[in-house]
Amino acid sequence: MRTNYFIRVIFFLLFFSGVAQENNSSVIDSIKSYLYNARSNQHKYDIRKSIEYCNKVIELSQKINNDEYLVRAYNMVGASYEQIADFKNAEKNYQKALLKTKNIDNDTLVSWVYNNLGNVYSDGYKETDRGISYYNKALSILKKLNDTVEVLTPTINIAWTYIDAEKFDDAFPYLQEARNYSKNYEVEEIAVSLNYLLGRYYVHKKEFDIALEHFEASILSGEKKGMFLELSDVYLEQSKLFEALNDNDKAFIAFKKYDASRKEVLDKEKIKQLEIAKAKFDVDEFERDLGKARKENAIQTSNARKSKIITIISIVIVFILIILLIVLYKNYETKNELSNILKIQNANLEKSKAEAEKLSQLKSQFISTVSHELRTPLYGVVGITSLLMEESDLSKKENQYLKSLKFSSDYLLNLINDVLQLSKIDSNKLKLEKTDFSVQALLDNVMSSFEYLLDQKNNKLNLEIDKELPCTLKGDTIRLQQILVNLVGNATKFTNDGEIWLRLRLLKIADNIATVNFEIEDNGIGIPKEKQKEIFDNFLQIERKDADFQGTGLGLSIVKRLVTLFGGEVNLKSEPGIGSIFSFTLDLQIGKPLSEDEICQEVYENVHLNNKILIVDDNKINQVVTQNILKKEKFKTVVVDNGLSAVEKIKQDHFDLVLMDLNMPVMNGFEATQKIREFNESVPIIALTAVAIDEIKDQVYKAGLNDIINKPYDNQDFFQIILRNLAKNEVSES
């Protein structure tokens, strides 16, 4: 039998280990006394009395809620059953002990239980793997505790289990480990078992000299302690070894010692077996009596409890039924009243919802229509102004007038864009696009928008870009530009004779995503603390003495909503008289190193600027503006005022590109493009429209158009789109 913690337990630990002291010291004293008596009777094989004392320990421990003594009691009961080879009941009590260890802080006790469960499975059930699993749990705990004495028991048990299973190579590391631990402690009982197992190992390895040395060491330790039963096993293995070595004389001597040792313990063994048999009978009888008494007591207790419960439940049920009847009646009346009210409210809600949706649609349609109608004349104003500004014979005063007119036009265009964006956000129609864009080009557009206003207010706009920031990013460049224009515009309006800073900082790059911090700082009038939350509301303005550029109060509201759409948050730091800092952080994908425009740059250089372009527009002013802008760049132009005429012209003549207005009489731009594509698939057709791009983009590409220019436009963007499409066409034709 392998080492059991309660059979070879260091008795000192049982009574003097650090158990928390309870207030009721007399109960603790009784528990210790019962444990002592249980242990003494277990040594005498009086298992019945041992279990009786353990039951008293269990009863008292439960009364004072002491789980540590419960663990010790259940563990001792398990050891008693294991002693009479009743492994089923042994395991049952070990498991009870293990369950209670969760409530105590004594890892050594836990290791004892795991070791004893290992004995049950390896010795009793012959389930080697599971037994070793429990031994390993005990071993792990003791190693953490650095308990170099207790750790010997599970270590030797694992080795013994492997050797009995003839897994000698698996056993050897544990034998080595046990030998290392035992060097510091002279424990003869351990030395007998360890050297015995090492001898068996080296016999298997056919290293007979080493095996003999270990058998001799085991015998020496065993004789000191009079361990005849253990010595008989050693002598028997030694005799077999001498016989294998053909040393029959020594084999005979060893066998005689084996026989003598067996005779020495034979009488004791017989007595022990008789006592064990008697103890087993007594235990069975005791358990039967105890079980019968417990059963009768449980039945009586259960019956009394059931009667009491039935009475209480009956009273409660009657009371509940009465209440339920009252509640049901009240609910029925209330339900009828609420149902009628709900029907009326639902009808009103449906009506209100329909009216609200209709009003929302009308509002969106109205704003879209008005925006379009405003953009169209603005195109003429901006275009003619740009053409006049390019004239070289203008006086300084005339040039100043034109700059003022151009600024006012741009301001009005930004206002239209703000109103349109606000309408789309309110109706949840705004979706962010994702396109590659040049960071520098975006910032140049923002900077150029404020040349006139900066000059008028005597301000300086500084641009600071992080050197590590990628040149190309991917996102909605139109909305991002609108955010920056509104923030820089806000700073410019409220700053006189000062400076404004536009900063871009790269915070990090991860998974092809650049985290960029945008910051707009000014040293203007600042914003009072009590107004800092309100300024992001629609139409809210801060009162100021200077009424120039008072604005609509939409800019910051749109900024906040657009930044939120990007997944960011606008932060504000401001002090009156010192200035303001608006900042936000966005996660933007890193774009391709070369944009489409850069790829086509070499082709642009080879584009012949005398290409013929057909202008299709029903507005005379727009015709003049577009035609003059193109002529300045050496393009040949032909003008028609409706889609049908455009179809006929393209049938009759060759054109390198078509600028197509979409809303025209006779035949609109969509129908005209579809007709043209029936006989000419190659000519680039670009939509020239005042309608917001995201509203018509899908319809434009579906009709067969190649690109879109939004009126009024920036001349640089205008020519870039034209050149890009001409270059693409030349590449495809070549």
pLDDT in tens, 591-648: 887 444 443 444 444 455 578 999 999 999 889 889 998 988 889 999 999 999 999 9
Question: Residue 341: what pLDDT?
Answer: 85
Same domain, 564 and 454: yes
Structure token digits, residue 248: 């029959």
Does residue 102 fall inside a structural domain?
Answer: no
Residue at 181: amino acid letter: Y
Of 87-101, 148-162, 218-232, the range with the lowest mean pLDDT is 218-232
Same domain, 581 and 436: yes
Query: Given 411, 430, 449, which residue is the final one in a domain?
Result: 430
Cα–Cα dist 663/684, whole Å:
19
Residue 484: pLDDT band by 50, 70, 90 thresholds?
very high
Q: Which residues pair with 574 in a beta bridge?
A: 580
Cα–Cα dist 529/576, whole Å:
8
Residue 25: pLDDT band by 50, 70, 90 thresholds?
confident
How many H helices and E strands in the chain? Answer: 25, 12
180-184, 372-376, 509-513, range with greatest mean pLDDT: 509-513
Question: Residue 22: what pLDDT?
Answer: 42
Same domain, 444 and 414: no
273-287, 375-389, 446-460, range with greatest mean pLDDT: 446-460
More confident residue, 401 or 333: 333
Structure token digits, residue 398: 């005339």
Does residue 526 fall inside a structural domain?
Answer: yes
Does residue 104 fall inside a structural domain?
Answer: no
Same domain, 626 and 695: yes
Instruction: Report whether pLDDT(427) > 60.
Output: no
pLDDT in tens, 329-351: 888 888 888 878 888 888 888 77
354-368, 410-424, 710-724, range with greatest mean pLDDT: 710-724
Strand pairing report for 612-616 and 657-661: parallel
Output the pTM of the full model: 0.43
Does residue 158 fall inside a structural domain?
Answer: no
Contact 222, 199 (CB under 8 A): no
For residue 562, the number of C-alpha atoms closer than 13 Å in the C-beta half-sphere is 28
Contact 679, 659 (CB under 8 A): no
Question: Residue 458: what pLDDT?
Answer: 92
Cα–Cα dist 662/664, whole Å:
6
Structure token digits, residue 525: 């009038």
Residue at 390: amino acid letter: E
- Return the ∠ at Cα 600 (arms to 594 and 603), rounded to 5°: 150
7-16, 211-220, 512-521, 721-730, range with greatest mean pLDDT: 512-521
Question: Residue 380: what pLDDT?
Answer: 61
Instruction: Report whether pLDDT(460) > 70.
Output: yes
Instruction: Report whether pLDDT(369) > 80.
Output: no
Does residue 420 fall inside a structural domain?
Answer: yes
Q: Is the Cα dihedral 293, 294, 300, 303 positive or negative?
A: negative
Residue at 105: amino acid letter: D
Contact 154, 5 (CB under 8 A): no
Residue 351, domain CATH: 1.10.287.130
Q: Which residues pair with 688 in a beta bridge?
A: 661, 709
pLDDT in tens, 645-665: 999 999 999 999 999 999 999
Same domain, 412 and 490: no
Same domain, 579 and 627: no
pLDDT in tens, 256-302: 988 887 776 555 555 455 455 445 545 554 665 566 566 676 777 77
Same domain, 539 and 446: yes
Same domain, 519 and 664: no
Structure token digits, residue 615: 């202008």
Contact 710, 690 (CB under 8 A): yes
Same domain, 711 and 577: no
Least Cα distance to 363 among 269, 307, 427, 284 occurs for 427
Cα–Cα dist 601/713, whole Å:
21
Does residue 181 fall inside a structural domain?
Answer: no
Does residue 251 fall inside a structural domain?
Answer: no
* Number of domains, the chain: 3
Residue 689, domain CATH: 3.40.50.2300
Of 61-75, 113-127, 346-360, the range with the lowest mean pLDDT is 346-360
Residue 531, domain CATH: 3.30.565.10
Same domain, 421 and 481: no
Q: What is the DSSP letter of 460?
A: E
Structure token digits, residue 178: 């046990």
Same domain, 539 and 663: no
The average confidence (pLDDT) of the chain is 81
Rounded to an integer, the average pLDDT of 299-306 is: 78
Query: Given 373, 403, 430, which residue is the final one in a domain?
Result: 430
- The residue range of the domain holding 676 is 612-731
Q: What are phi and psi of 540, to 5 degrees?
A: -85, 135
Contact 602, 552 (CB under 8 A): no
pLDDT in tens, 693-724: 778 888 999 999 999 998 877 777 788 889 98
Rounded to an integer, the average pLDDT of 351-376 is: 61
Query: Given 372, 407, 430, which residue is the final one in a domain?
Result: 430
Cα–Cα dist 209/203, whole Å:
9
